[in-house]
Amino acid sequence: MSTTYLEAIREGLKEEMERDPDVFLIGEDIGVFGGAFKVTAGLLDQFGSERVVDTPISESAIVGAAIGAGLMGLRPVAEMQFSDFISCGFDQIVNFAAKTRYRWGASVPIVVRAPSGGGIHGGPFHSQNPEMWFVHTPGLKVVAPATAYDAKGLIKSSIRDNDPVIFFEHKGLYRRIKEDLPEGDYTVPIGKAKVYREGRDLTIVTYGAMVYVAAEAAEKLAEEGISVEIVDLRTLLPLDEETVLASVRKTSKVILLHEATMTGGLAGELAARITEKAFEYLDGPVVRITAPDTPVPYSPPLEEAFLPNATKVVEKARWLYRY
């Protein structure tokens, strides 16, 4: 039976709560209502209100309570209803959770779930990809799965991790992506990318929903005889530099694709690392494909123009292939 991306996350949460009584969930409307996107539906009935905790509308309080519980030996999973609202808990995350191990060696084993991304016509306050706020913060781990298999395996790994993890879930993937998951317990390691598609002519490095944009573009390019390799980062901090560089050395051409806006985006960091460590392998310029530096539009046609898509990737890939 196929499992959706959303159901995979729920399964991961449920299995970890069954495995470890110290795991609990905290957030707005996650109990009785089952979460804004129904990720936590049914978990209140199974685990009770002491382990599925409905809170007031205060992200700062949610994150602060989670940090305190983590310091006392529990393993909280805090939900931000939309990743955009994580800014209200930003100080707690970057100035306390991220620095506690460095300052006095204490473990803060919390996971902050952050539904992110556009394509749902949510406008500028419900569609952002704010991952780079946290990738820039030493002491955090930042995860962004693209597949149902990885979503389940990475949420389980994140809960078991002894340091704070920001877990970005793309809202556009929740019910769109399905796959058959293996029976029994499994995890996906944090900090390890995977080659989503093998290719020989150029590499696309990406993550989250853009993996499927890259895959659609790769299918169209294959019809023209252009073989595309896709690297799915899965984890943004720490970055799996080795897998990225190995693919670039193999194909000699690279496109860096993400949904977040361009300036200060992960593509810039990746481009720097590639030019520093694999420059002699490159047969063309490093190409970035991202959203433009504007807020996410509410209007459906404007949002469509804003987001990277397969047509834009194919056009850039043809140019780079011929370079």
Instruction: List the strands of the sheet with 141-143, edge to edge.
Output: 52-54, 23-27, 75-79, 111-116, 165-170, 141-143, 235-237
121 counts as catalytic: no
> What sign for the dihedral angle of Cα 289, 273, 130, 52?
positive
Question: For residues 71 and 24, what is the distance between their CA atoms, to the nearest angstrom?
Answer: 14
The residue type found at 207 is Y
Question: For residues 47 and 189, what is the distance between their CA atoms, to the nearest angstrom?
Answer: 27
Among residues 126, 136, 170, 258, the one annotated as catalytic is 126
- The torsion defined by the Cα of 273, 274, 277 and 279, in degrees rounded to 10, comes to -140
> What are the catalytic residues?
126
